Amino acid sequence: MVAERRQHDTERQRLEGLDGEAFEAAWIDAMVKGHQAALDKLDRELIPQAGAGEVRSHLERTRETIAGHLEQAQALQKPAGG
């Protein structure tokens, strides 16, 4: 968790130095990267360790939501008309 926190702080500082289209592109890239990292953690660690039951069901629903957000962010990365 400490390494993840440092990564987030570094990314935030980088974004603070940008504006306009550069900020928008970097922010979308950060959202894609963050959502993909969340899916990876769910798939590799959290869901397999949850066993059966309500916790696993909640994590699986959460995964679906995050995957949807990732798709939306990836669509924003694509250039207009592409």
> What's the rounded mean pLDDT across residues 62-77?
97
Confidence (pLDDT) at 5: 86
Q: What is the predicted pLDDT for the residue at 3? A: 81
Domain span including residue 54: 2-77
Domain count for the chain, please give it. 1
CA–CA gap between residue 71 and residue 69 (Å, rounded) = 5
- pLDDT per residue as tens digits for the range 33-60: 999 999 999 999 999 999 889 999 999 9
| Domain contains 64 | yes
At residue 33, the pLDDT reads 94
Round to whole Å and give the CA distance between 68 and 62: 10
The answer to the question of residue 35 being in a domain is yes
Residue at token pair 């550069």? 22
14: which residues sit within 8 A by CB, 6+ positions away? 26
User: Residue 82: inside a domain, yes or no?
Assistant: no
